[in-house]
């Protein structure tokens, strides 16, 4: 247990020394403030100045912002992993009692915990909880927290260093872009976008009659992505 505590403390030291990592952890709080105070002002301004209501788009915009936090948390720990891989730290830890599996467990669990806490907080402070009961809200938050280890494993599997990691982490935005057509259009062709794990969570939120079906689907798709990325990650580190 001491090894885990030491690793967690060293993580905080690494994050504290890097302004970009600090900003990545604080960014979700900044856009939460935008959701709480900024969106009502924009809605009122558009209504007053243009005589147009955009209320129906507000829930989607709030949900669109929600997955960014787990991605950022996963990115932070992914960058730590890349730095430690370059420094040979992972090879060293592989022969300690902590082992590579213990090391990776800490790297994956910590951003999941941050994401879960933030997601629950965000759902209730943004008002998205009106679409789900309490258990469904917690379950959706937990499943969405899986975006964090997905990002971490994605960086570990495909990035050679932090510079490459910054570049390829932006490709995760494709998962967010896939949400837009499903909100704007209708039709069975939208199932094409079900390859995005977040698509299932959006459906669970905005299709309450079938929330459980989509939540189960989201859990399965997230598990498949994590499994495939983990295999790729292991091959790279073996």
Per DSSP, the residues of 32-56 read HHIIIIIHHHHHHHHHHHH----GG
Instruction: Tell me phi and psi for residue 230, to 5 degrees.
Output: -65, -40
Q: What is the mean pLDDT of the chain?
A: 88
Q: What is the pLDDT of residues 110-122, one digit of tens each?
A: 999 999 999 999 9
Cα Rg, the chain, nearest whole Å: 19
Q: Could you tell me how many helices (H) and strands (E) the chain has, helices first?
A: 14, 0
Query: Cα torsion at 33, 214, 130, 209 (round to 10°)?
Result: 160
Q: Give pLDDT, residue 82.
A: 86
Spatial separation of the C-alpha atoms in residues 94 and 110, rounded to whole Å: 19
Q: Give pLDDT, residue 5.
A: 73
Q: Is pLDDT above 60 for 1?
A: no
Q: Is pLDDT above 90 for 149?
A: yes
């Amino acid at each position: 247990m001491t090894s885990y505590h030491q690793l967690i403390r060293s993580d905080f030291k690494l994050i504290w020394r890097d302004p970009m990592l600090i900003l990545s952890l604080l960014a979700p709080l900044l856009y939460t403030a935008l959701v709480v105070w900024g969106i009502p002002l924009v809605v009122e301004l558009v209504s007053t100045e243009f005589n147009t209501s955009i209320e129906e788009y507000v829930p989607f915009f709030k949900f669109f912002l929600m997955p960014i936090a787990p991605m950022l948390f996963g990115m932070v720990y992914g960058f730590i992993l890349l730095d430690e891989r370059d420094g040979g730290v992972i090879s060293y830890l592989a022969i300690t009692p902590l082992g590579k599996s213990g090391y990776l467990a800490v790297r994956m669990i910590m951003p999941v915990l941050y994401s879960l806490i933030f997601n629950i907080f965000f759902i209730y402070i943004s008002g998205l909880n009106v679409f789900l009961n309490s258990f469904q809200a917690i379950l959706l938050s937990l499943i969405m927290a899986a975006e964090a280890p997905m990002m971490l494993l994605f960086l570990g599997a495909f990035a050679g260093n932090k510079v490459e990691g910054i570049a390829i982490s932006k490709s995760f935005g494709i998962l967010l872009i896939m949400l837009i057509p499903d909100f704007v259009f209708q039709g069975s062709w939208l199932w094409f976008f079900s390859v995005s794990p977040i698509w299932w969570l959006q459906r669970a939120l905005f299709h309450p009659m079938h929330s459980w079906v989509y939540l189960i689907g989201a859990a399965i798709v997230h598990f498949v992505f994590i499994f495939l990325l983990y295999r790729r990650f292991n091959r790279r580190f073996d």
